């Protein structure tokens, strides 16, 4: 949900879950409503964990296999600090999606780091340099983790890791909202 002030005196945008590059599709005109309506709209739109006041980090999941992509999305669905905002089969598709919505974190599954996945990772990092990337790998080959980090990932995790480790890593990469 995105609210904006159209009064002309000042412009502001309040976002939850996602940053938008283009103008919002829904705006509430503060001058034509009472303050209570604005507060009610904000309260209805904010997705907060009542004990921690967390705005979920928007996650972009990139996984070439539909079943595994759905499984990753399902594994993250109930986590209060995280929200899958986008999912894609490849980096090209993901970058097309990010022309409108910017993720807070990218989760990418690397199936063949030695055969092109590192180039894809570098393209992704170059296109979204401020967005932290967590790379999932099948098995760790000596030197592979460092190569993945050198190509733009901030963290690497084995696909065989427990769900709790995945959640922990994503929360560590989560941007701090003020």
Encode the chain in three state secondary structure. Answer: CEEECCCCCCCCEEECCCEECCCCCCCCCHHHCCHHHHHHHHHHHCCCCCCCCCCCEEEEEECCCHHHHHHHHHHHCCCCCEEEEEEECCHHHHHHHCCCEECCEEEEEECCHHHHHHHHHHHHHHHCCCCCEEEEECCCCCCHHHHHHHCCCCEEEECCCCHHHHHHHHHHHCCCCC
Q: What is the mean pLDDT of residues 69-98?
A: 94
Residue 46, number of CB atoms within 10 A of its CB: 13
Residue 35 pairs in a beta bridge with none
The dotted CATH code for 57-173 is 3.40.50.2300
Residue matched to tokens 């983790």: 145
Say if residue 71's pLDDT is above 60: yes
Say if residue 93's pLDDT is above 80: yes
Say if residue 82's pLDDT is above 90: yes
Can you give the pLDDT at residue 111? 84
Can you give the pLDDT at residue 114? 65
Distance CA 109, CA 82 (A): 18
Q: Taking CA 19 as the corner, what is the angle to CA 24 and CA 83, rounded to the nearest 5 degrees?
A: 115
pTM: 0.69
Percent of the chain with pLDDT over 90: 54
Distance CA 25, CA 31 (A): 18
Can you give the pLDDT at residue 139? 81
Predicted confidence band of residue 55 (pLDDT cuts 50, 70, 90): confident
Q: What is the mean pLDDT of residues 81-98?
A: 94
Distance CA 168, CA 174 (A): 10
Predicted confidence band of residue 54 (pLDDT cuts 50, 70, 90): low
Bigger pLDDT: 141 vs 48: 141
Domain boundaries, the chain: 2-45, 57-173
How many residues are given for the chain?
Answer: 178
The tens digit of pLDDT for each residue in 13-37 reads 333 334 434 333 333 333 333 344 4
Q: What is the largest CA-CA distance in the chain?
A: 63
Closest CA to 134 of 161, 96, 115, 99: 161
The tens digit of pLDDT for each residue in 98-141 reads 988 999 999 999 987 667 889 999 999 999 999 999 999 988 78
Say if residue 95's pLDDT is above 50: yes
């Amino acid at each position: 949900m995105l609210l904006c002030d159209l009064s002309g005196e000042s412009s502001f945008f309040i976002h939850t879950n996602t940053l938008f590059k283009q103008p919002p599709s829904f705006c509430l005109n503060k001058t034509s409503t009472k303050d209570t309506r604005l507060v009610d709209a904000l309260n209805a739109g904010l997705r907060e964990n009542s004990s921690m006041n967390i705005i979920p980090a928007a996650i972009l999941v990139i996984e070439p296999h539909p079943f595994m992509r759905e499984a990753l999305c399902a594994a993250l669905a109930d986590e209060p600090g995280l929200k899958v905002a986008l999912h894609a089969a490849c980096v090209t598709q993901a970058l097309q999606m990010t022309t409108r919505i910017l993720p807070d974190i990218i989760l990418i599954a690397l199936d063949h780091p030695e055969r092109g996945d590192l180039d894809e990772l570098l393209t992704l990092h170059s296109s979204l340099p401020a967005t932290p990337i967590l790379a999932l790998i099948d098995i760790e080959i000596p030197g592979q983790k460092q190569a993945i980090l050198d190509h733009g990932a901030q963290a690497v995790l084995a696909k065989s890791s427990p769900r709790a480790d995945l959640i922990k890593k994503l929360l560590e990469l989560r941007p701090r909202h003020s």
